[in-house]
Amino acid sequence: MSAGLHAPWPVLLGLWLLLCVSSGAQGGKVLVVPLDGSSWLSMRQAVQALHARGHQAVVLVPDVSMHLKGEEFFTMKHYEVSYTQDEFDRFFQKYFHATFERQPLPMKFLKGVEKTKQSSLIYLKTCRDLVFNKDLIRYLNSSSFDVVLTDPLWPCGALLAKYLSIPAVFFLRSIPFELDSEGTQSPIPSSYIPRTLTALTDHMTFLERVKNMLFPLAMNYVCHVCFSPFASLASDLLQREVSLREIFGYGSIWLFRGDFVMDYPRPIMPNMFFIGGINCLNRKPLSQVCIGCFIQALAR
């Protein structure tokens, strides 16, 4: 499968449906709540394609970021966060360095949980600074947006859409702990759908199926550690008890940057679409040197 979003039609299908219904023949207004990092490299192209078709996009950007920079095809709206660029950079340098350390599997799992917890706290702090920014919320309420485009791996965009009562389109590669299945109430049979991180295939022995059924019990703890603070934040914002399922269930349309070439087939709901592509920019053609080396390697 080719990398990047090389065909805008399937990517924009869900957005067009919502925008056409709400705004007729005129261009719609899209509020973009991106996830910084590689996710933005793909979402950026969808925003550019929307602009080319007459839609107006406003991208919410924290003062501290990695890849979120200004472009002529969207309007940036900054908001302050309660940490500095140096603190942000130091944290992710340690995060990326630890990712490539060689360690025994139990130690790697425990450190992975701790890294995920720390990064989740960074994004939680960012989300709190966003949703409790009174001036920004006042601006968003008065701007009459038609749809929110966001990556639900950082559920702040989903929470903001719910708070503003704006339809949400989720643009993602995947969500850990099968939270997409939870949010859409899509079945995920353990008998033939391997859970994430199990390294199993869709052809499992009986014992492997048992492992596949037990594995989510351990993952539920990790999910609680990483994502439950967002449910608490949502409860504070909406002034009532809110669950993770309700937050992820707010998505009107799910656009998955992947397909069943890379992922095992599974049941999906009618509002879930596989659009291809991964977390990267459009591919560049291979040079003749690279092609020659590849052919030589095959011939050996």
Position 56 scores a pLDDT of 94
Position 77 scores a pLDDT of 95
Position 36 scores a pLDDT of 86
Show the domain range for 204: 8-299
Any domain includes 92: yes
CATH at residue 116: 3.40.50.2000
Any domain includes 50: yes
What is the secondary structure of 49-77 as a DSSP string?
Answer: HHHHTT-EEEEEEESS-SS----TTSEEE
Position 23 scores a pLDDT of 47
Position 20 scores a pLDDT of 57
Any domain includes 68: yes
Any domain includes 1: no
The total number of structural domains in the chain stands at 1
Where the chain has pLDDT below 50, the residues are: 1-7, 23-25
Position 236 scores a pLDDT of 95
> Order of strands across the sheet with 168-172?
75-79, 56-62, 29-33, 147-150, 168-172, 251-256, 272-274
Any domain includes 166: yes
242 touches 234 (CB < 8 A): yes
| Type of residue at 155 | P
Give Cβ neighbours of residue 28 (< 8 Å, ≥ 6 apart): 18, 19, 20, 22, 55, 56, 146, 147
